[in-house]
Structure 1
Amino acid sequence: MIILSKLNLTQSRWNDIKNNNSHADDQFIYAVKSTMIFCKPSCSAKLPAKENVTLYNDYHDAITAGYRPCKKCNPTGRFTDKEEWCIQIKNYITRHYQQPITLDELANHCHGSIYHLSRVFKELEGMTIIDYLHLVRTTEAKKLLADQMLDLTTIALTVGYKTPSQFIKKFKQYFHLTPHKFRQQFTKL
């Protein structure tokens, strides 16, 4: 027989749930009988009816009791499939940013459709995959601009741009300065 460690729903704990108190996240989790979902106290999901709430010391007990984790607050701390996909995409870009990267190539590498990968990435990261690629490239270019011996064409080609004009345009878009102006400010420091 499995003994679960249920906690009393005190007024203080109820207030933690009502107020989405993140400081209480390490103290307990709450499960909702009507939805069979468990959450952290800081979860911003709709407040459940108090009579439907059961408290547990940790998520293991809630899972044993038949509840499933909330997708909004992720009380188990495990990556979701979507998060793992984004990590896979970001890691691929970080390793291959100097090369031409296409969405087809990423979709094949990550085993998904271009459209679904793009949608998931934008939803979780707040930018498109291509925007992320340009951010990585231009961030790497900033490091190379410190070397006064490298010309802009060399830097552009090194970080994966086909032309210096494409590099300059993207650099200015992300850092609000041309690479030349950035280099001038960097050398003044």
Structure 2
Amino acid sequence: EIPIPVGFAAAFEGERIRKAEMAYEFGGNKSPPWELVIAKSMAEIEDHKIEIIGENIDPAKLADGITRLPLAIVVNVAGKAMQEDFEPVLERRFHYFMNYIEGLMHVGQRDMSWVRISKDAVEKGFTLEHIGEVMYAMMKDEFEAVVDKCEVTIITDETVVNERKAEALAKYESRDDRLASLVDESVEDFYSCNMCQSFAPA
């Protein structure tokens, strides 16, 4: 069980948080967001470390209306079977993991994400550390075959978000370049069935 003060289940996926219900908003077109998974060596990672850089969620600010902040989520992973090529696969799961949280809405990916957190979740004691707890638990659970260690850094300090964004953009670009370079001659397995093609890695 994940130690968070709100519900966590697939049933909450698709929950919409309207402006009247919202306490915090990150990204969208209001502030800079980005999300990144980085494969590292086992020695570089402190397992289950969750670090917040910048302002955290504060129930005392509910009276001030909606708080808007930038948001960068960095998940460092390591494992004997982990490969750099797996990073985007893990990263795509951010959307699902975060949407399973009651009172949180996540849209988009990479540097086009958008997150809303409800007043109700904040009143129950939900903080950014809890996003970290969800990321840690789900990465270790869903990707146990490749992830032995995991640490999460969540950044809301705009200066740091902007400074480190170049690192994220460079990663996205290198992944896109690699994907563009893949041709039939560079793979060994082919799937003639359309269903198999959709399940098989690109």
Is the structural similarity TM-score above 0.5?
Answer: no
* TM bin (shorter chain): under 0.3
Q: Scaled by the length of structure 1, what TM-score is found?
A: 0.24
Q: Scaled by the length of structure 2, what TM-score is found?
A: 0.22
Q: Which has the higher strand share?
A: 2
Q: Which has the higher helix share?
A: 1
